Amino acid sequence: MTEWKNLCTMHRSQSERFGNRVAMRHPQNGLFHDLDWSSYRWQADQAASGLIDLGIETGDRVAILSENRFEWLIADHAILSSGAADVPLHAPLSPTQVEYQVGHSEARGIIVSGQTQADKVFEVLDKLPSLEFLISFDAIEAPDGRLQLLTWQGLKHRSGRINGQEISAREADLNVSSLATIIYTSGTTGNPKGVMLTHGNLLSNARSTADISFVSVDDVLMSWLPYSHIYARTVDHYLTSIGGLTVVLAESVDTLMDNIRQIQPTWLTAVPRVYEKVWNAVATLDQESRTSALHTIFGSRVKQLTSGGAPLPRYIAEGFFEAGIPLLEGYGLTESSPVIAFNSIENYRLGSVGQALGDVDVKISDAGEILTKGPHVMTGYWKNPDATSETIIDGWLHTGDVGRLDADGYLFITDRMKDLFVTSSGKNIAPAELERILSRDEYIDQAVVYGDGRKFVSALIVPSFEKLQTLADENGWTIDTNGDFITSSQPLTFLEQRIEAVMQQVSQPERVKKFLALARPFQVEDDELTATLKVRRRHIISRYEVHLAALYDDSSVSVATGR
């Protein structure tokens, strides 16, 4: 099997191998357009030359802030071929979050999709002294300033100033230990940590995952997960290049099912929420009708569906298998590039997340924590040696998850050691940070965030009773209660507005959509607070989980509400 020393040589050799075969199909103006492997590589080289002409050196960082589009994939390869590492930012990030990640990574340049994302950068530009240029896929209007501005086409037009030998020399200097990307992932407290992944991390993980995926050059992958997340980055992006698959970019999340019907893919990677929605639509049908409906939804060519990023309910996987459509669950995290274990068509055990990949070691600590070791493990957190030493001990990555291995090596996830939780759409949520933001509001005294495995984030809110009562007296409101909860519409509407306002600091998936307002504070006597007055999150959630779960009964309501 071919041994590639970095992601650049992998993509270049595969592009030469597959030539005029279709590498990707991408939507534009309502139609899908094909891009062959040769053109894919040629455009990446043009953009790489443009970056080098802008002064990018080996080891620099260049950020990408964009929704999924085919230029994103080209830009990634261009950055890598220039010798730099990219910093992918999640498209829904707020300007404050963009500021931290671009500034902390010391990115010299940023590539954005268009005006909306560019405006986030312009808003915080004064706080980004290392940023020198901004490149936009679409035309934008920009304020006067120190930043050098280029269009995507303008970047590629600069390629004539740099010959191909410079790109070849830079690629030749890259090896498995060279930094390829810094991906920021939410922690339980404070700012996110920058996960440093090398060419070797990503290449080994993509290759090992490809080995158990049983895909061929005739396969077609429908791609819609954000490329700023490690799951899509490794599987939809790099694995497909290794396998020579055709990648089809969905127009949007909203059009995913329509695009599937149109394209008839053989493979879909997704998070549990997608399969939950489909299952809910067919669950009441009899077995024969359900099987027919699922095959209609996913098309006649589908070979497998894969799920990651959050726990997949076992009954859904069983239902898909009963319909003759393998729905395979895996497990990993950003720090492991990401795949640690995955089920495959030939080797699966429902309820588990599969067996460890071929070059991945997994063991369970005495405390029950899942540990992993191998070429997939990150080199550490960017500019955070303390967090690195706490997470990687004697070469073993401590995942923070509790699990068990059965006699055949299948891994089962049983709990989470960390407070970090994951919504059913696969979004990592750091509750302590959201609680800190909520509690900063003068009318909110305490907060506990909830949403592990759920569609969105909700919260328990303890108001600042003195201030809320003063406001109620001034406005002639009453503060009625029922059991532990405030039920009056006026104070709930007021709190709703406060929550919506403070949630503007974070991305849409992190925002609290619904809440319950408690009529009393958390108390030490009820084991809701520790002796040092720290909130005991799990105990509180356990106590109120029935009430919190009821907030998800009507998913059509998407605004925060206590009613």
DSSP classification of residue 336: G
Instruction: Report whether pLDDT(501) > 80.
Output: yes
Which CATH number describes the domain made up of 209-418? Answer: 3.40.50.12780
Q: Which of 377, 385, 371, 270 is nearest to 325 (CA)?
A: 270
Q: Do domains 34-174 and 209-418 have the same CATH topology?
A: yes
Q: What pLDDT is stored for residue 558 in this prediction?
A: 33
Lowest-pLDDT range of 319-323, 359-363, 559-563: 559-563
Is the preceding peptide bond at 143 cis, omega within 30 degrees of 0? no
Evaluated on CA atoms 451, 455, 457, 458, the torsion sign reads negative
Q: Kindly report the CATH class assigned to 34-174.
A: alpha beta
Q: What percent of the chain has pLDDT over 90?
A: 78
Structural tokens at position 80 = 């890598």
Q: What is the mean pLDDT of residues 332-336?
A: 96
pTM: 0.81
Q: What pLDDT digit, counting tens, does each position of 290-331 carry?
A: 999 999 999 999 999 999 987 788 889 999 999 999 999 999
Nearest to 14, CA basis, from 210, 267, 278: 210
Does residue 377 register a pLDDT over 60? yes
DSSP state of 364: E
What's the mean pLDDT in 326-341?
A: 97
Q: Report whether pLDDT(493) > 90.
A: yes
The H-or-E segment that residue 305 falls in is: strand 304-307
DSSP-assigned beta bridge partners for residue 523: none
Of the two residues 166 and 555, the one the predictor is more confident about is: 166
The pLDDT of 8-30, averaged and rounded, is 96
Query: Using 50, 70 and 90 to split pLDDT, how confident is the model at 253?
Result: confident
Pair 183, 209: CB distance under 8 Å: no
pLDDT band at 524 (very low <50, low <70, confident <90, very high): low
Residue 113 confidence (pLDDT) above 60: yes
DSSP assignments along 215-246, one per residue: --TT-EEEE-S-TTSHHIIIIIIIIHHHHTPE
Q: What pLDDT was estimated at residue 417?
A: 65
CB burial class (10 A; 0-12, 13-18, 19+) of residue 553? exposed
Rounded CA separation 277/236 (Å): 22
Which own/partner contact pairs does 126-133 have at CB distance under 8 Å and 24+ positions apart? 127/99, 127/103, 128/99, 128/102, 128/103, 130/103, 130/106, 131/102, 131/107, 132/54, 132/55, 132/108, 133/54, 133/108, 133/109
For residue 221, the model assigns a pLDDT of 98
Instruction: List, edge to edge, every strand of the sheet that includes 61-65.
Output: 148-151, 133-136, 109-112, 61-65, 85-89, 179-185, 193-198, 380-381
Query: What does DSSP assign to residue 285?
Result: S
Cα dist from 357 to 197, 230, 347, 416, 441, whole Å? 18, 17, 12, 22, 46
Say whether pLDDT at 271 is over 90: no
Q: What's residue 188's pLDDT?
A: 39
Mean pLDDT of the region 522-543 = 75
What is the structure's pLDDT at 340?
98
DSSP per-residue letters across 401-416: EEEEE-TT-BEEEEEE
Mean pLDDT of 68-74: 97
Under 8 Å CB-to-CB from 100, ≥6 apart: which residues?
191, 192
pLDDT range class, residue 356, cuts 50, 70, 90: very high
Q: How confident is the model at residue 563 (pLDDT cuts 50, 70, 90)?
A: very low
pLDDT, mean over the chain: 92
H-only helix segments in 374-488: 385-391, 431-439, 465-475
As a whole number, mean pLDDT of residues 525-540 equals 71
d(CA 405, CA 328): 18
Any idea which of 243-252, 476-485, 497-506, 535-544 has the lowest mean pLDDT? 535-544
3-state SS, one letter per residue, for 498-542:
HHHHHHHHCCHHHCEEEEEEECCCCCCCCCCECCCCCECHHHHHH
343-370 average pLDDT score? 96
Report how far residue 123's alpha carbon sits from residue 294's, in angstroms, rounded to the nearest whole number. Answer: 46
Per-residue confidence (pLDDT) for residue 5, from 0 to 100 = 95
Q: What angle do CA 268, 207, 85 make, to 5 degrees?
A: 95
* Predicted local distance difference test score (pLDDT) of residue 530: 54
In the chain, domain spans = 34-174, 209-418, 430-550
190 pLDDT tier (thresholds 50, 70, 90): low
CATH topology of domain 430-550: GMP Synthetase; Chain A, domain 3 (3.30.300)
**What is the Cα–Cα distance from 216 to 18, expressed in whole angstroms?**
13
